[in-house]
Structure 1
Amino acid sequence: MENDKKALLLEKTLDHFLKYGSKNITMDDIAEEFGLSKKTLYTLFKNKEALLLEAVDLLWKKFIDEVNEIIESNQNPLQKIIAIYIIAIQNISTIDPIFLYSLKKYHRAVMEEYQKYKKQMRDEILLPLLQQAKDEKLIIQTIDIAFFSAINFDDIDEKLWKYKVFENYTNQEILDYFITLKLKGIVTKDCFNLL
């Protein structure tokens, strides 16, 4: 029962952090919001940093579960990349940028964990898919996929917030400009219509 309570609390608290950032929400606020004593809350989470760390883990684990379903699909590697970024853009659009800014400023260890997941996504999912596309001759053979990924796909979340694209463009337009058109620039002529 305690694990269920903790999981529910973590899920709901994550939603609050994503909407309002971490600085504006205290452990007192969380205890009051969920009708818990502070003692109970601190039994579940050692401190706010521990709560945030588990919330970031939950955020990424949910995303990685969705990504793994795409990886298992029968799509070609470029279509998988696009499908992954469809989910990524949908998820990023629900997060207020204050969440990451507050992690950077006040919770460096948690931000390092967030960055670790981003690096894992790049190194263990995105780059292998680009390499597979290269091996299958779907993309131009001279493309340096690590460099391509770094300048086009790294820190896409921060770029989307920096340029306030969610205020002016649909998710489909964002996908086209940030992902699809860039991939079209490196596909071989024979594979252009695969995207």
Structure 2
Amino acid sequence: MKEKILTEAESLFWKYGVKSITMDDIARQLGISKKTIYQHFADKEAIVYQVVKDKLERDEKEYQCHFRGAGNPVEEILKVSELLRQHAVTVNPSMMLDVQRHYPKAWQVFLKHKEDYILMSIRDNLQRGVREGFYRPDIDIDVMARLRIESVQLGFDERVFPGARANVMAVQEQLLHHFIRGLLTEKGFSVYNQYNLNTI
């Protein structure tokens, strides 16, 4: 039952945002009483915490598979961004803003994941790209890694991009291609252009 509660809660959170979903909504969706939910979770914050933690762990495994399947750093970053786009289809942009504003424990889990995994993965990609001649040797790895991770988050922020729910994939794609084109050497552009031709 605990897993069913988490699965249903996650589905509702991603679709409608966290703040608007109540314990009553989760119970109603599952056809159970709130009392049953409270047998497994102390409160809504405990559910949000576990949903975020589980989602990030699943994402990490999925991204690792995409990293392993890429032949070079340019393809790697584009493949991961494709996965991000697939996820964005089912995401309500307000979810992570809700978590940030109202669920500090869950937000700390996200921040730790962001620093320990996402940022490290971007740094690794940039270092490999420079080493193999796909990215410019004069880029500042730390600055560019931070820029990329913050631009992804920015793309989901409706305060910055009004109507982001309808256009989130288009916004993310613009941010990605602006970012990556600034990194590339001639060798990198050759791979980048070939990749784009093959995906049109």
Please classify the TM superposition score into its range, dividing by the shorter chain length. Answer: 0.7 to 0.9
> TM-score, normalised on structure 1?
0.84
CA contact (8 A) 1:82 1:180 kept: no
How far has the Cα of 1:61 moved from its partner? 2.3
RMSD: 2.2
Aligned partner of 2:187 among 187, 190, 193:
190
Unaligned runs of 5+ in 1: none
> TM-score, normalised on structure 2?
0.82
CA contact (8 A) 1:92 1:157 kept: no
Unaligned runs of 5+ in 2: 193-200
How far has the Cα of 1:12 moved from its partner? 1.6
How far has the Cα of 1:14 moved from its partner? 0.4
Q: 1:144 matched to which residue of 2?
A: 140
Aligned partner of 2:27 among 27, 31, 56:
31
* Over 6 Å off, 4+ runs: none
> Per the alignment, do residues 129 and 10 of structure 1 end up closer, same or farther by CA in structure 2, a change over 3 Å counting?
same
Matches within 5 A, 1:62-81: 62-81=58-77
CA contact (8 A) 1:86 1:175 kept: no
Number of equivalences: 189
Paired with 1:176 and 1:35, the residues of 2 have a C-alpha distance of 39
1:88 aligns with 2:84: yes
Paired with 2:136 and 2:89, the residues of 1 have a C-alpha distance of 32
Aligned partner of 1:40 among 28, 36, 40:
36
Paired with 1:130 and 1:119, the residues of 2 have a C-alpha distance of 16
Matched-pair identity in %: 23
1:58 aligns with 2:54: yes
